[in-house]
Structure 1
């Protein structure tokens, strides 16, 4: 990696904002959390080796996902599969649609997590409990508040989240859609 401050700052920011998204992306291929973490660490190491001040943020993100996909494929090639598994994997994993869908899914998860992190107080507590799969009554019981308070806070929370996420979601949706019709 070049010694440029911009390159180091870009790497730190990408690592903090995209590490979990890349782990999730790898997990869709590997179905193993530990392997996914290892591949993600190797992916970021490869980025660190190559990143310099000339890299744009967009190029670095593309590099992350393409490198992660290639490393996952290497892991899968080295594992033993029966013939049916190999044919199914080839069809699914080599598909550009699958690759784009997974990038979109992981980036949306990242956007939602970043948006939820911007919430405060009860709204943050309610959002985290809802993301853990708890229903309104379970959230009310857990927090010791009325179910109407939960519903009211959720309504406010969803409005705020739509404001925060809205633009990024639209951008991802159109990027994915436009990439598919260009083929």
Structure 2
């Protein structure tokens, strides 16, 4: 995508690339899958309404996360008014730092998923099963291969992912949080 934004194709690309990450971001704070989906859809609707030639991709992504954050804050406020005293709301809403940390986490996850989608064969199968939470023995069972083969194929997969992503910290995050290397 070029740096300048225009047209429905660009909106579709942003929607495809960022929808899951924004949903994860919203779900972290709302802790309600349906509300998170509503917030994510509202975020992209607002982007669609405002997207024009003056936006760069960077501006659009910033707009997406700022809008999602504001929508989540509004929903949390409405929920709080329904259930408890509004004065307590200020102390219980997520901080700006926690929002920024969650954006970074969702962006890392988005980058890893994008890299995984570039894999093929056994590497893609193993990554997909690991992301489903399957342990190495479970992966071996599903694929009908030995445990040592799974471990060996995972090492190859990490090598491929490093080449695709190029940022070792993302691979470390991926390995620690998503692929259960020790199992």
* TM-score (ref. length: structure 1): 0.82
Shift of 1:148: 1.6
Report the counterpart of residue 24 of structure 2 in structure 1: 24
For residues 90-105 of structure 1, the aligned pairs below 5 Å read 90=93, 93=94, 95-105=95-105
Report the counterpart of residue 84 of structure 2 in structure 1: 82
Report the counterpart of residue 50 of structure 2 in structure 1: 50
- Consecutive aligned runs of 4 or more in structure 1 exceeding 6 Å deviation: none
Distance 1:25 1:116 in 2: 20
Alpha-carbon spacing, 1:72–1:168, altered in 2? closer, same or farther (3 Å): farther
Could you list the per-position Cα deviations for residues 130-165 of structure 1 after superposition, in whole angstroms to 9, with x for gaps in the alignment?
112222111111111111211111000011112222
Distance 1:102 1:81 in 2: 25
Report the counterpart of residue 166 of structure 1 in structure 2: 166
Q: Which stretch shows the higher mean deviation, 81-90 or 109-118? A: 81-90
Distance 2:21 2:169 in 1: 15
Report the counterpart of residue 173 of structure 2 in structure 1: none
For residues 28-177 of structure 1, the aligned pairs below 5 Å read 28-79=28-79, 80-83=82-85, 86-90=89-93, 93=94, 95-167=95-167
RMSD (CA atoms): 2.1
Q: Provide structure 2 residue ranges, at least 5 long, that are not aligned to the other structure.
A: 171-183
Shift of 1:88: 4.4
Q: Which stretch shows the higher mean deviation, 59-68 or 72-81? A: 72-81
Alpha-carbon spacing, 1:81–1:165, altered in 2? closer, same or farther (3 Å): farther
Distance 1:64 1:168 in 2: 26
Q: 2:162 touches 2:168 (CA, 8 Å); kept in 1? A: no
Distance 2:78 2:147 in 1: 52
Q: Secondary structure of the equivalent of 1:124?
A: helix
Structure 1 or 2: more helix by fraction:
1
Distance 1:29 1:135 in 2: 28
Report the counterpart of residue 177 of structure 2 in structure 1: none
* TM-score (ref. length: structure 2): 0.82
